[in-house]
A and B are shown apart, each in its own frame.
Chain A
Amino acid sequence: MRVRVRERGRERAEGQHILSTSALRFAELSLARATHDPAGLAVPMGRQRDSGACHAMSARNKYAQVDRTYTHTRSPLSPLIKPSLPTPSGAFGFVILAQEIETGEHWAIKFLERGNKITKVRMWRESERERVGRRWALSIFSPSLSCFPLVHSTSAGS
């Protein structure tokens, strides 16, 4: 028992150490970035070019995919609520674990599908679904764009 307590104590001391060094490391890193350290990790890609299109596309060549299956948010809701709502993180796209080719550093890259989506309609639908009394909302809305005029006329008429 004693051993266990000591171990726990040591573990905590180590944890404290991690916390403070991480803060330090972090501050150094931030300062290096702030001063545009040319040898720093974050070579400011964007600042060197003006053409947004060009740089936005070329940045991806910096990274190599390590693990396509890596996801950091998954099945977020309890079994209780899961069937009644889509999982908020389920549809955002996907996350990969990537390695920066030049430095070997690991990064998580979150991919969202391009193209605009009318997210507010969805948000509205979600909030409506939460309000059990408003059944009409569920019957009127479909997630597609085409339902939009209906939103208009209904809310103006009620």
Chain B
Amino acid sequence: MTVGGSPQWVAPDGLSAAAACRLAQRELARRDARFFSLEANPDDAGGLPFRAEFPERYVAWTGAEASLIGAAGGLALAGKIPLVNMFSARGLMRACEQVRLDLCYHHANAKLFGSIDEGPEAGSPEGAHRAIGDLALARSLPNLTVIAPADATAAYHATLAAGAHAGPVYVRLARHATPPVYGLGCRFEIGRGIVLRDGSDLTLVAASPAVVAAALAAAELLRRDGIDARVIDLHTVKPIDRALLAQAAEETGLIVTVEEHPVRGGLGGAVAEALGDDCPVPMRILGVPDACREQAGTRQEQLRRCGLDAPGIAGSARRALARWQGERA
């Protein structure tokens, strides 16, 4: 089987990461008859290209996630490579024990594609269908590779990479369109972070749709203040790219992580664990506050409220840098 995909593939405007992932799944199925599609998210905005082309390898389940994940484990035991499309709130959270035992423990060659948002306007980050705590859960599970691609193009390449990777993989996706980060030449490699912008004063480390683009925009805002920020897309949250992080910590000092995730246990936690061992430096973890909120609002509005849009990230980074420089003075 061909490993990886052509870096020439670029998502058309308006395509969500979840929809791009669907196209990559069809591509995997064209290359290798072992790929099966298991469906717990049939209302996907990107349509169902896999079902249209390979109906005999498409298994509709529509909910009942615990038994669906178990069946994925069984298919993997029988030599298939199940691709599970699901809402993370149900596929990863409700069926967590099946993921842990039937997939991770058995090192099942199964791939989980989880949307963290219900619809294009998901409302409150802590709302019923939202699964923004998925990274903390996923990275605690043994043997599980955890990927949060930055946009639709990266999601396509991440899906091909996941398909070529032996063992269980969780890919975090969004069902609504997010700003593009990558164009031609996206070279996605599991476990290897990507420096999107070089800089020497501090490093912004981000993962998953929306916030990587916001971190890049924040770096541009910081530049106007004379602050030179490096930006890393740390798309693989587990295993984490320790070398790239240690290098950034050594060269820029302050690390600011950015995630659409509770501030505990996600990307920031993973970075802190790595740097604590390898190169302790001042850190600031930006994410969703550890509190449940009930206000309505679009996803963009919610990100702004949490300080996860470009001005919010730039402001937090500026304050963290000033504080650190004050302590050093």
Q: Is B truly associated with A? A: no
